[in-house]
Amino acid sequence: MRRLHGVPELAWWWYPILFVTGLAAGFVDAIAGGGGLLTLPVLFATGMDPRAALGTNKFQSSCGTTVATWQYARHGLLKWAGLRIGILATLSGAIAGAWVVTRLDRDLLRPVVPVLLASIAVYTWLKPDLGREARPPRLDRTLFAFASGLLLGFYDGFFGPGTGMFWTVACVLLLGLDLLAATAYTKAMNLTSNLASLAVFLWTGHVRFGVGLTMAAGQVIGGRLGAKVAVKGGASVIRPIFLTMVLALAAKLLWDHFR
């Protein structure tokens, strides 16, 4: 890499790799979440500053999540009037989590999250009908939106990995949504906490726009394709990809913890 005005400039061949990575991550994210498993290792591999890698990742993933959310909304799977409380609670939780992480060691959660993810995978595997059809809610929608928004928004701002997966399972188990509707709801909440985090990275100048826009172009295409596939295939498409990404993320977090 060459340095331009004190900032490492990537070799030209990185950009096709970044585009394809963004496309693949956008596709997976739109269906089940976990796209960061693909994007972050590639961004770190470029050799850029870790803070810039994290900020650039939030930038490009927010673009893909925006497109995926819009696609779900276009197919009538999101009712914005019913999402307002959840969005406000998630935004508040994400800001609080981002603030707390500056004062506490977020590695406190590192050994716990893989266990939670593995539990989700086992439960989903043992319940083949989970999310195949809508069921009566077990919790009032307003209470769910407020409590889940604060809790999962805080978690995303504080630590992050698996947030979308936790949202999806919570929507299925507590709201009684089918997997498709739960995935749509999850995208809207993920977008909220992503934008809150992105604002912090933009404010502190930790976004590489050339890299981010290249990946975002792939994310937009992948997010649109993934949402279309999910809408068309429903639970039969979402479930295996969801399980795969949950297990992959749990394995990666365990590997990072014990290596």
Looking at residue 108, its pLDDT comes to 73
Place of tokens 């990537």: 10
List all residues 6 or more positions away from 71 whose beta carbon is below 8 Å from its beta carbon.
Answer: 30, 223, 224, 227, 228, 231
The answer to whether 193 touches 69, Cβ cutoff 8 Å, is no
Tell whether the model's pLDDT for residue 71 goes beyond 50.
yes
Looking at residue 6, its pLDDT comes to 46
| Structure confidence by residue, pLDDT tens digits, 200-238 | 888 888 899 999 999 999 999 999 999 999 999 988 899
**Measured between alpha carbons, how far is 119 from 20 in angstroms, rounded to an integer?**
32
Binned at pLDDT 50, 70 and 90, residue 4 comes out as very low
Instruction: Mark 102-131 as b/e (b = at least 16 C-beta within 10 Å).
Output: eeeeeeebeeebbebbbebbeebeeeeebb
Tell whether the model's pLDDT for residue 93 goes beyond 60.
yes
**Measured between alpha carbons, how far is 119 from 128 in angstroms, rounded to an integer?**
15
Percentage, residues of the chain above pLDDT 90: 48
Tokens of 178: 């089918």
Looking at residue 218, its pLDDT comes to 95
**Across residues 189-202, what is the average pLDDT?**
89
Q: What separation, in Å, do the N-terminal and C-terminal C-alpha atoms of the chain show?
A: 29
Tell whether the model's pLDDT for residue 126 goes beyond 50.
yes
| Structure confidence by residue, pLDDT tens digits, 148-177 | 999 999 988 877 778 888 999 999 999 999
Place of tokens 């060459």: 2
Within 13 Å of residue 150, how many CA atoms lie on the same side as its CB? Answer: 5
**Measured between alpha carbons, how far is 48 from 64 in angstroms, rounded to an integer?**
22
Tell whether the model's pLDDT for residue 14 goes beyond 90.
yes
Tell whether the model's pLDDT for residue 90 goes beyond 90.
yes
Residue 91's closest CA among 34, 146, 165, 13?
146
Binned at pLDDT 50, 70 and 90, residue 7 comes out as low
**Measured between alpha carbons, how far is 143 from 100 in angstroms, rounded to an integer?**
24
User: Cα–Cα distances in Å, from 172 out to 33, 52, 161, 208, 227?
Assistant: 15, 35, 19, 37, 18
Between residues 60 and 256, which one has the greater pLDDT?
A: 60
β partners of residue 9: 2
User: Cα–Cα distances in Å, from 147 out to 49, 98, 138?
Assistant: 35, 18, 14
Looking at residue 1, its pLDDT comes to 39
Phi, psi of 140 (to 5 degrees): -55, 135
Task: Give me the chain's average pLDDT, please.
Answer: 87
Binned at pLDDT 50, 70 and 90, residue 79 comes out as confident
List all residues 6 or more positions away from 16 whose beta carbon is below 8 Å from its beta carbon.
Answer: none
**Across residues 112-135, what is the average pLDDT?**
84
The answer to whether 224 touches 31, Cβ cutoff 8 Å, is no
Binned at pLDDT 50, 70 and 90, residue 52 comes out as confident
Tell whether the model's pLDDT for residue 24 goes beyond 80.
yes
Place of tokens 């590695």: 107
Looking at residue 72, its pLDDT comes to 93
